[in-house]
Structure 1
């Protein structure tokens, strides 16, 4: 007769549903019926050990290792619980933490409001510049520039104004 002792490893999360970014999450890795020295380890997505616990064989305990994640975010959602026996990984249980984005309605409304305000100001400034240039063109067409210092214009004006010179030219 052969006796097989079954050891189970289980990973749970509290809260169990998807969490919102910034929430606190507790991941629990549990091992049943520890009969010899083992080590439980939580490893992050970079492969670094975050927390670990050595389970002793003489205690006949249920091994439990919790990882508390403060301010859950999208960069920290892949975790792995590893059960080591004599420094050899025997069980690896990956856990993917589902994280919803926090609603960011207020910052989005603020950005849209400021952008709209600046767009209206820019439109007003461009319209004002175009209007001033148009008014300047109209003003220049009605009042042509006067001659100043041009000898031919002065002589023509003199010829036209002097009665003796006008009669001699005829």
Structure 2
């Protein structure tokens, strides 16, 4: 599977496993899982050619580790980023003292007024390192990395969870926990 097809397949899987499962006629369970055989059959019915080996390749090589298999390998789901209602079953976790959020400079006024909000997603996504935050912010224009005082948020009772691919999730980040870029 060449790199171009791998990226295209990853984007398509993100769309159907995070946002529009109905696009190919599948239904995610309450935790976001769908059986692999059901996914592959639905894709084939819509003219999409994808083998289990190709799916395995996309899951294994995705640099953002967006997808994961169930323990028995029979089901697949997106690790986070859903706009459809799912409960990933992630336990609360103690975050590092500081987390980061990458965004575009044009969003700063709204962010410092309203805080970080999940928008169409279920959670705000944060990263443990600035490099990841820069990559995320770059998708939205000139990137700006904000610092989040996660220790203070946790002390104030805000809950954090960590996805299978290392993305930190929280319901929202009020503006008082954000630091402006330097």
Q: TM-score, normalised by structure 2?
A: 0.17
TM-score (norm 1): 0.17
Larger RCO: 1 or 2 (CA < 8 Å, sep 6+): 2
